[in-house]
Structure 1
Amino acid sequence: MTAERDADVSLTAVLTLSGPARDAPGTLELHGPLEPLLLEAALARVAAGRPELRGTRPRTVRRGPGRHTLEADAPYPLGVLADLLTAAVPGPAGEHGAGGGKHRILARRQPVAALPELLALTPLQRELLSDTADRPQQQVAQLFQRWHGPLDTGRFTAAWQSVFDHETVLRSAFVWDPQPRIALHARARPEVVRHEHGALTWQALVEQERARGFGLGRPGPLRFALLDGAPQEPGDGCVPPTDVLLTYHRGLLDSRSVRLLLHEFYRAYLSASSPHGGERRPDLRDYRRWLSAQDPAPARDFWTRTGVAPSAGLPRARPGAVTGRQGTGRALARLTRAEAARLADWTARRGTTESGALQAVWAMVLFRTGGADRGPAPVGFHVTLSGRGIPMEGVEHIPGLFDNPLPMSLDVDPEGTVSALLRDVRDRVLDMAAYEWVSAGQIRQWRGLDADVDAPETLLSFEPRPRPLEGLTAQLAVQGIYVEEAAPVGGRTVFPMDVVAHHDHLGGLALTSVNDRGRLHDDHAAQMLAQSARLLRELPGSAGDSTTVAEALSTLADADAPRLYDRPTAAVDRRLVRLRGAARPGAVTVCLIAPPGTPLDRYVDLARHYQGPEALTVLRADVARMPEAVEALRPLLAAGARPVLGGFSGAGALACELARHIAAGSGRAPLVVVGAAHDADGDRVCGLTRALGAAARRAD
């Protein structure tokens, strides 16, 4: 994603803190053109988020062209201010200073750059960022679709630009102040990259895009990679299909949202002009306000009464046992179109759904892993609820992160009937849906459970049937275009095992499992998926009203019982990563601050541009684990190294918090340098490297 940004309005900031106390004086040096109205807007934004600061502001001293210093004697979040100013996006060309007379005066009253609007994270977003802080690839998800017919790259990009302009979430990013927040930017451009046939394989493209991750400080949680199909024989008149890979950040979007956005895109692609009129409302800001107004007491009462027993999941391997594997395993199973139709008819006649049947079958498979001869027992797993069944007008049309994995507990009686189990699943899901806005972390906290020990280990997700394109299919066909339904691409999993079900473009029901090889063997995950698919095929034809769970399970062949292994212990703490050593003895160390989930390639790119003799390191910092970050730096500090802390916009407040912790131990806070968000063309990277070099010379 390339945010619209002009080099001549890019600022860099250098912060000096006089000590560890929050009321210690500090200064913020700004290098680059500073529009007075932009500064006023930034100060007002800080005061709006911190009412106690109203009436308090740092002094502004102009040091020369493009050089200003802000001096704060009272407590003031200079890191937050630096992040706001360096993240400002320039206004459209011609917006300022155009026209004459009264219009010219009004134009000069507008700032030349737009500040991002800050928004608190939802509990679901906070937990996802925290759980995947050290594993950025788990924050990435992907959808795939095949485009048949002509695909004009310019028209494709322009259509997505229209959608980006309309949807606030597509112009969002993350900042830390030092707690994580969402930054809503005024503008962002979609990143569309097209690859010729033969440039790379499809699997290589999927892995490449997944490994890239997202620069969390840059707006745009959705990007596009196109891979052309094999050229056709001359004269056959056929256009080769194009594979389209949509990669998105799971902290801001879910798969249902991306499908909503695809519908908007098709309308824009078919329209000669933008089909939208301004921003969508309601949007994620309205949802956040709705969420803040909810009383958690009824939800707390429900979830504390209907929790999951800690022993209700997969049987555990013996303590200390390991799988000896790393990475992610995948397995596939599929019901044909006829089998899927038979399942849908069977569940409808029993007053439930296909997703309810999958949940009941999964409960039976989990029950079987504990032994075929046992009596009634609880089983527990997570199910993904849509999060859109809440009483908020228009929520079904808002793109964002709503899909919510919540714990489900069921009592499985082998002598009970399959029909009764289906009813239990249906009733439990209906009860859960009343509080589907609550996060799993809140539930664990209310019940006093440990996240690593007591959480169910598997997750079931059932993608809804694709929405009709409402006439768009025919309009696309007129232009010789047919696009297959978007399908999920299996990625990294936070759970030991995920299962995703979706209807494919042929009408079948596809089941995909993804397992953590360090916690569950591939063959065991594939076995459980195959057993589930077999039951979904056979039950509609064999299960009567009196068929028991034990009778249904008796059709499955005997196999080794799956075992869940303890989470592997990390061999090396990679919180501090060395990019390069110093070019001369005694040189300063530049420590780049990587907020949680930030891919390291952003900093490798910076290291290639950096010209100074200083050593370069990257530190993964998180306000919730600041002592660990300081501990990772301790060898450098003990050796007398004089670090300079730096980072892209969005890391300033986090770096200031770390500087205070360092000052508490050494008596002296390091300089903090903040530059504009990482930009693929290198302009902003070079601006930050120059500022880091100047700060390093001052600290030397």
Structure 2
Amino acid sequence: MTLAVPTNKSKNIESIYPLSPMQEGMLFHTLYEPESRVYFTQMKYILHGNLDIFAFEQAWQQVVDRHPILRTIFVWQNGKKTLQVVLKKVNLPWTNLDWRSLSPIEQEQQLEVLLQEDRNNDFVLDKAPLMRCTLIQLAEATYKFVWSSHHLLTDGWCMPIIFKEVFAFYEASIEGKDLYLPLPRPYKDYITWLQQQDATKAAAYWQKALQGFAAPTPLVVDCTAKQQSEIKKTFDQQRLQLSSTATTALKSLAQKHRLTVSTLVQGAWGLLLSRYSGESDVIFGATVSGRPPSLSGVESMIGLFINTLPVRVKVSEETELVPWLAELQQQQVERDEYAYSSLVEIQRSSEVPPGSCLFDSLLVFENYPSADSLHNSIRIDDFQGSERTNYPLTILVIPNEELLVRFVYDRDRFDADTITRMAGHFQTLLLGIVDNPQQKLSKLPLLTDFEKNRLLVEWNDTRVDYPEKCIYQLFEEQVAKTPDAVAVVFGSEKLTYQELNSRANQLAHHLQTLGVGPEVLVGICVERSLDMIVGILAILKAGGAYVPLDPAYPQERLAYMLSNATVSVLLTQQKLVEQLPNCEQVVCLDTDSEIISAQIKDNLLVGVKPENLAYVIYTSGSTGKPKGVAMSNRSLVNLLLWQMENSQVSIEGKTLQFAPISFDVSFQEIFSTWCSGGTLVLISEDVRRDARALLRLLTETGVERIFLPFVALQQLAEVATSFELFPTTLCEIITAGEQLQMTTSLTNFLTRLPDCRLENQYGPSESHVVTAFTLKGSANSWSALPPIGRPIANTQIYILDLQGQPVPIGVPGELHIGGLGLAREYLNRPELTAQKFILSPFDKSNSACLYKTGDQARYLPDGNIEFLGRIDNQVKIRGFRIELGEIETTLTAQPQVKEAVVIVREDIPGKKRLVAYIVQTHITSPSSIQNQLRNFLKHQLPDYMVPSAFMLLDALPLTPSGKVDRRALPAPCVINDTETFVTASTPTEEAIATIWGDVLGLKQVGIHDNFFELGGHSLLATQVISRLRQTWKMELPLRRLFEKPTVAELAQSIDKILSTVQRLQSNTSSHLLNNREEIEL
């Protein structure tokens, strides 16, 4: 809309003056979103009585004549400044309709059409008046009155004043009398008063009041994933009405403690936002009357006086309710002194970044005329208002005899069910305030009884009666059923169930001679082989628990694990012995084979019980040392029996064994296969690291089921797009370890497998799998970020706030796990066990435990759970759980590191990497410190815990509270020594550098840069090799990148291959390279 000075109205101009800050804000949003009808106000009333229509119309015209603001338009001055222009004379548009001949249903239908047409007929701001009236006669003494206006003119305070004057003029008219009311004070006087206020003093107040608040309070239950460009801003509303009894009690409580009902309502809304967001410091908007007491006669003035101000609420859950409300009211009194402040200026005084809203919810406490305040012969009821603001959520509170609350919401941000639940929570808080005003804030209820029962009982009703058995017993039962079926395949080697059982028994008997039995921990450090698989089974059959040790781990880490677990027996291979720490008894499965094979093949008699340990798997720990998760047979058998019941793999189906045995998913792969009669397909480490080789193996072996972390699954899907073979036998894909994302490649991959189901499982090492969500049907219809599902058999999931109370549906909280799946403890870490495994407040026997996962999640309305990430510094990358604190602790152990912070960055969607930010004790060369720290970490931590980039800072950025501001850490750049950096010069080098830059998200790559030092890892290496193969149409083994990790080395290797190809092609045209042949140089 373009506004211009109305030259044709100059003789009719009474006054010209500036806008108030609130008017300027409303005008901006009106012009910014003209199609939204923002601030279009539509009031509807039912009038009962013998109404004189002409007198009623004239009364309204007289009120318009009395008040300058009702004759006001808005114009530009020279296209720069907006002014409001008061006209001397304005005729109020008036429409009379007679619908008495229509049935009640027809009247309702006609009314809906009329109201919509009225809303579509928006006001033109430079054409007066910005209001109109429609009177509809429904019956002899019943009328529907519709009053539409623009909010720029009036506020809620004006309604009773206007109606009182209308009926005063109406009464005088029907009695044939003249009425002379005192001249009202014009709105212009208020504008003059505003211009006299101390803006500097106000800015100082707001700066202090908002100090430390740097981000708007999130409305966590809204659909924040939608892009702003897609939002159409269509609004709807819902009503909440308290009973007269509850309203009376609320007013009595306020009166008793010298509080206003408005304070009680604001307190309840602040608590709701705090509980929803999980933050103790929240802000929402609230309207104030804006009528300064120092302006005489302001109570009877007509105009837009209300202002929107931020209300900051700090919630200390241990504070008592009434004192907290009293403090909230005192803050309101102090705030009212600066109620004239422009919201734009207030935001400038805050620390919220420009472009961000200070708040997203607005609380409006309204007052409208009641029947007893008007003429006795005309009764008004059934008031309904229709108005929308520029905020996604507005809560309008009308303190009638029955407190009315209207939730006006943006339908693109909230769905109706969400608002219904929100209204229920708001009502529960208000009633909780009334029921026990002496309680602490933490004790105030939020959930309705229905929702509490659903969250705690109904959705956790997972009981299934499973037999009390141990893992080895399930396996031996399967051996008896299918002794000749193939149990495991590794390349050309294979074992039947009987053969596997015999070999495992022989080793188990040998282990028993070494003292292995229940609660005895046996280390196993073996490369991927049949020996590895047999070793795990033998330990369990001997009654012990296995402790997997990855041969690739640094010696110091392995030494700690062996010491912490007090391992007395270690299974390994001769070639690994030298790199392993000393152990009391070492069994080399290869060189000791004669001793082992001399043992009998019979099953063992062991006294293992379900509560005895099955394994101890070490995961990253925040103190700098890994922690051992001790899992019992009972917990794991519960998982196996559930998995077997819910699998759609055939009885003799093949399952891939992909995960390292130090990763808990390996147990699921191995034993869910063996306990159901399937075949386990074991693969070498080279195949594990090469998605192309893995895809070929899956196709050639006819694997039906795979367990893969998302990143590995994504790599497989990407390779499949350009590979001639495809694993059509897959019927079940299970992913876990990190957030599943339905990328284009993965969707296309699964579209080619219409009978294959994808299952998204969730579970930390401390419980193994506890929830699962199955995706079936068309992959194109699946959510981009599928939920993690519902709890599995004999498992309970509780999503709790910081006070340990269940959060509402849709609200984030910390995920807690209960039930049979829990680990027994952190081995030899009683304090940590007590900290993370807490007594369940929902167990009547007061004996069950809950595990605090540190994961953030929320319940969806259908009972499925959405994973939202880590609450603390623990993250998952490539399926590995990493405690960032462990890396930080290890870094700060270096003398040259003063401070260290490690974060996960995802500068390229789907590509997470670790970045370390370092403050040095002494300044050294950037490239020198980078190489030194990387080499140091390689000897202390697994490769997936070594940051891909190191940033040197003079100081770490801090928040106002003194904490490290992780959001303010700069984006990483590659630290290169300028003297050694060389740009690509040949076509091959340029192509490689471009591919590396795309994959790693770097703008500049030199020919001497090392792929892995730039942040590359094995999964990204797969992408690079795939791109290189496409570029030169040649077979290039994945290991080539590991052997030639710099651009120069790899380019030289590729150039040699190309040169050989050209030479062969020139020598003979009949001996072309086979598509699958590799040229080794």
Give the TM bin, normalised by the shorter chain. 0.5 to 0.7
CA distance in 1 between counterparts of 2:249 and 2:222 reads 38
Identify the match of residue 250 of structure 1 among 143, 148, 151: 151
Gaps of 5+ in 2: 453-806, 813-1081
Identify the match of residue 441 of structure 2 among 539, 543, 548: 548
Is 1:275 aligned with 2:190? no
CA distance in 1 between counterparts of 2:122 and 2:232 reads 23
Is 1:86 aligned with 2:18? no
CA distance in 2 between counterparts of 1:530 and 1:318 reads 20
Identify the match of residue 222 of structure 1 among 131, 136, 139: 131
CA distance in 2 between counterparts of 1:448 and 1:553 reads 31
- Which residue of the partner structure matches residue 559 of structure 1? 808
Question: What secondary structure does 1:127 align onto?
Answer: helix
Contact 2:157 2:368 survives alignment (8 Å): no
Contact 1:325 1:518 survives alignment (8 Å): yes
When structure 1 is superposed on structure 2, of 401-410 and 524-533 the one drifting more is 524-533
Is 1:305 aligned with 2:198? no
CA distance in 2 between counterparts of 1:325 and 1:171 reads 32
Identify the match of residue 185 of structure 1 among 57, 62, 87: 87
Identify the match of residue 72 of structure 2 among 172, 190, 198: 172
Structure 1 residues 537 and 345: alpha-carbon distance in aligned structure 2, compared to 1, 3 A threshold: same
- Which residue of the partner structure matches residue 566 of structure 1? none
Gaps of 5+ in 1: 1-78, 89-112, 232-238, 564-700
- Which residue of the partner structure matches residue 314 of structure 1? 219
Equivalent residue letter for 1:127: G
Is 1:433 aligned with 2:331? no
TM-score w.r.t. structure 1 length? Answer: 0.58
Structure 1 residues 215 and 116: alpha-carbon distance in aligned structure 2, compared to 1, 3 A threshold: farther
CA distance in 2 between counterparts of 1:245 and 1:321 reads 36
How far is 1:276 from its partner? 3.4
Contact 2:216 2:358 survives alignment (8 Å): no
How far is 1:527 from its partner? 1.8
- Which residue of the partner structure matches residue 494 of structure 1? 390
Contact 1:85 1:115 survives alignment (8 Å): no
- Which residue of the partner structure matches residue 54 of structure 2? 154
Is 1:424 aligned with 2:327? yes
Output one character per residue of 1:72-93: Cα deviation in whole Å (capped at 9) or x when no partner: xxxxxxx99x9353124xxxxx
CA distance in 1 between counterparts of 2:291 and 2:308 reads 13
CA distance in 2 between counterparts of 1:511 and 1:168 reads 32
Contact 1:175 1:181 survives alignment (8 Å): yes
Structure 1 residues 365 and 537: alpha-carbon distance in aligned structure 2, compared to 1, 3 A threshold: same
- Which residue of the partner structure matches residue 117 of structure 1? 15
CA distance in 1 between counterparts of 2:115 and 2:223 reads 36
How far is 1:468 from its partner? 8.3
- Which residue of the partner structure matches residue 676 of structure 1? none
Is 1:131 aligned with 2:26? no
How far is 1:554 from its partner? 6.3
Equivalent residue letter for 1:314: L
Contact 1:364 1:553 survives alignment (8 Å): no
CA distance in 2 between counterparts of 1:420 and 1:309 reads 27
Matched residues, number? 437
How far is 1:321 from its partner? 4.0
Question: What secondary structure does 2:38 align onto?
Answer: helix
User: Root-mean-square deviation (CA), in Å?
Assistant: 2.7
How far is 1:281 from its partner? 3.9
Question: What secondary structure does 1:545 align onto?
Answer: coil
- Which residue of the partner structure matches residue 234 of structure 2? 327
Structure 1 residues 431 and 534: alpha-carbon distance in aligned structure 2, compared to 1, 3 A threshold: same
- Which residue of the partner structure matches residue 669 of structure 1? none
Is 1:536 aligned with 2:438? no
- Which residue of the partner structure matches residue 118 of structure 2? 209
Is 1:482 aligned with 2:391? no
Identify the match of residue 343 of structure 1 among 224, 244, 250: 250
Output one character per residue of 1:526-556: Cα deviation in whole Å (capped at 9) or x when no partner: 322221123223431x214133334433666
How far is 1:204 from its partner? 2.8
- Which residue of the partner structure matches residue 360 of structure 1? 267
TM-score w.r.t. structure 2 length? Answer: 0.38
Structure 1 residues 319 and 359: alpha-carbon distance in aligned structure 2, compared to 1, 3 A threshold: closer
Contact 2:214 2:351 survives alignment (8 Å): no
Identify the match of residue 98 of structure 2 among 196, 199, 210: 196
Is 1:384 aligned with 2:256? no
- Which residue of the partner structure matches residue 597 of structure 1? none
Contact 1:202 1:227 survives alignment (8 Å): no
- Which residue of the partner structure matches residue 41 of structure 2? 141
How far is 1:275 from its partner? 2.1
How far is 1:459 from its partner? 0.5
Question: What secondary structure does 1:406 align onto?
Answer: strand
How far is 1:326 from its partner? 5.1
Contact 1:257 1:399 survives alignment (8 Å): yes
How far is 1:319 from its partner? 7.0
How far is 1:124 from its partner? 1.3
Equivalent residue letter for 1:495: Y
Structure 1 residues 408 and 488: alpha-carbon distance in aligned structure 2, compared to 1, 3 A threshold: farther
How far is 1:241 from its partner? 1.2
CA distance in 1 between counterparts of 2:364 and 2:226 reads 29
Ranked by relative contact order (alpha carbons within 8 Å, sequence separation 6 or more), the top structure is 1
CA distance in 1 between counterparts of 2:406 and 2:367 reads 15
Structure 1 residues 444 and 214: alpha-carbon distance in aligned structure 2, compared to 1, 3 A threshold: same
Structure 1 residues 159 and 84: alpha-carbon distance in aligned structure 2, compared to 1, 3 A threshold: same
CA distance in 2 between counterparts of 1:324 and 1:133 reads 17
How far is 1:490 from its partner? 3.1
Structure 1 residues 126 and 450: alpha-carbon distance in aligned structure 2, compared to 1, 3 A threshold: farther
How far is 1:292 from its partner? 0.8
Contact 1:114 1:186 survives alignment (8 Å): yes
Contact 2:69 2:187 survives alignment (8 Å): yes
Contact 1:490 1:512 survives alignment (8 Å): no
Structure 1 residues 274 and 309: alpha-carbon distance in aligned structure 2, compared to 1, 3 A threshold: farther
How far is 1:324 from its partner? 8.0
How far is 1:501 from its partner? 1.0
Output one character per residue of 1:138-168: Cα deviation in whole Å (capped at 9) or x when no partner: 1211222211012222111111111111111
**Where do 1:610-621 residues align within 5 Å?**
none
CA distance in 2 between counterparts of 1:459 and 1:318 reads 18
Identify the match of residue 517 of structure 1 among 411, 416, 419: 411
Equivalent residue letter for 2:380: V
Question: What secondary structure does 1:83 align onto?
Answer: coil
Equivalent residue letter for 2:385: V
CA distance in 1 between counterparts of 2:359 and 2:178 reads 46
CA distance in 1 between counterparts of 2:124 and 2:180 reads 28
Contact 2:217 2:360 survives alignment (8 Å): no
Equivalent residue letter for 1:532: F
Contact 1:141 1:250 survives alignment (8 Å): yes
Structure 1 residues 446 and 311: alpha-carbon distance in aligned structure 2, compared to 1, 3 A threshold: closer
Structure 1 residues 381 and 171: alpha-carbon distance in aligned structure 2, compared to 1, 3 A threshold: same
CA distance in 2 between counterparts of 1:131 and 1:181 reads 16
Higher CA-based Rg: 2
Contact 1:263 1:469 survives alignment (8 Å): no
Equivalent residue letter for 2:391: F
Contact 1:309 1:380 survives alignment (8 Å): no
Q: Percent same amino acid at aligned positions? A: 22
Equivalent residue letter for 2:318: E
